[in-house]
Structure 1
Amino acid sequence: MSVSDPRQPLWLLPGFLCDDDLWRDQLTGLADIAACTVADLGHGDSIAALAQQVLDAAPPRFALAGFSFGGYVAQEIARQAPQRIAWLALLDTSFHADTPERIAQRRAANRSVSLPGEFRGMTERLLPSFIAAERLHDTALAQRINAMTLRQGREVFIRQNAMRREDGAAALRALTCPALVLCGRQDVLTPPALHQSMAALMPQARLVVVEDSGHMSPMEQPAAVTRALREWLAA
């Protein structure tokens, strides 16, 4: 963003194995009011390191939206430098720390994906956990999601999956900036009840539940997500 650009700087943090294409429609739909940058979260050895990378590249004050894995990075930014966040949006994510069981599952997944063979990305077997049932017939959407995960690849899978997710409750309670908490109605990975609990940590937060959407709300229901982000930035 140039000095004369009146638009709000907005950093968009993608999810696990996601890239710029996650935010494709939001980049277009917010271009008139926000100078958007999609962070590369594929390089780093911890969520704290990824948060520092964003802080090193971002302006002194900026709007921040984190989706899924990116939501944990956003909460780490809130922990490290809350004064730099002008607006915060958390989409289809969680604020809970990894349990021992979840850590064991992640380690098992990394062992499995490290075995010889082709990295297959988002397979048809996994897709029902990520998008709403009524969208499973959407071939174009499935291909976009799979292509995105294949671009990120095996190394990013292992790297991001090994990063421990920390509890974000204290960092969220300390924030006073305008906040948006959003998820798909059919999100089975991070369901609406979890987002209600997250929004309750921030009295100023607006909770939005997007109908006819699973976990991948920015891609499943782009117009609804863009509309919610526009209203959030206008707060």
Structure 2
Amino acid sequence: MRCLVEGEGPPVLLVHGFPMGHAMWRAQIASLSGVRIIAPDLRGFGGSELGVIHEGQGVSMERYADDLAALLDALGVDEPVVYCGFSMGGYVGWQFLKRHRERVRALVVCDSRPEADDEDGRANRLKMAEKVGEWGSAMLAEAMTPKLFAAETLENDPKLVAWMADMMGSNSPQAIAAALLGMAARPDVTGDLADFDLPTLAICGDQDALTPPDVMRGMAEAMPKAEFVLVEGAGHMAPAEKPVEVNSAIEKFLESLPPIG
């Protein structure tokens, strides 16, 4: 698994969304200080190999989670991490938390949700998984991009929008299809939220149409130690659209955590 590691201090694991790579966190990697940043490319994305995937089968959120645990082992990280997951990285985070709870110090959930897909959402993912080989990654990225950003970002920051589209379009159709199948089959963890009793920060763009603020606010309210931060002027890509505000929220959260040990 390809992984960027930078800095010294308590480990912060940055897990990207679909269909991106660790570079989506570039503003956080550049600005967060006093921590050890660990920013991997999930299986098949960025510079990481997909591995053997049988036809018609995807990569489950559990498998991505176990990959991350194996990565931490390979890096010799034995202290608990602050797990920061964006969108699909949040879905992976729920499974990481369920399967590797002892490795998590605190949780940051950016523009994600605990619910499984509804029937229409699952059908849409399955259709995209079937067609992405025919359409190509770049076409899928082009179709997705307008849904990811606030209207003002689309109008005023074309370089950011184009950069994100290029990142998504650079990934293989096979990796994209595998992730789509995995997300379509992911479990609903809404009933587990009350048991996730670790410090949690939920961040959401106020114009996020994919994981609306009310969904994330409700998620935070269902968790015993969660706080909710709304980022004004941001869509789904809040960490990239409004990095100053998102970084400030993350830094304040990290400062509030009790010392390790």
Change (3 A) 1:147 1:119: closer
Q: Classify the secondary structure of the residue corresponding to 1:22.
A: helix
Contact 1:121–1:146 at 8 Å: present in 2 too? Answer: no
Partner of 2:116: 97
Name the CA distance, whole Å, in 2 between partners of 1:119 and 1:128: 14
* Structure 1 residue ranges, 4+ long, deviating more than 4 angstroms after superposition: none
Q: Classify the secondary structure of the residue corresponding to 1:203.
A: coil
Stretches of structure 2 lacking an aligned partner (at least 5 in a row): 1-6, 45-49, 51-58, 257-261
Partner of 1:120: 139
Indicate yes or no: 2:60 matched with 1:52.
no
> How far off is 1:229 after superposition?
0.8
Matches within 5 A, 1:1-235: 7-30=9-32, 32-43=33-44, 45-58=59-72, 59-60=77-78, 61-115=80-134, 119-123=138-142, 125-137=143-155, 138-163=157-182, 164-235=185-256
Contact 2:149–2:235 at 8 Å: present in 1 too? Answer: yes
Q: Classify the secondary structure of the residue corresponding to 2:171.
A: helix
> How far off is 1:171 after superposition?
3.8
* Amino acid across the alignment from 1:22: M
* Amino acid across the alignment from 2:147: S
After TM superposition, the score normalised by the length of structure 1 is: 0.91
Change (3 A) 1:156 1:182: same
Partner of 2:3: none
Name the CA distance, whole Å, in 1 between partners of 2:252 and 2:187: 29
Query: Identity rate of aligned residues, in percent?
Result: 29
> How far off is 1:120 after superposition?
2.6
Q: Considering Cα pairs closer than 8 Å and 6+ residues apart, tell me whether 1 or 2 has the greater RCO.
A: 1
* Amino acid across the alignment from 1:15: G
> How far off is 1:33 after superposition?
1.6
* Amino acid across the alignment from 1:8: P
* Amino acid across the alignment from 1:127: T
Partner of 2:259: none
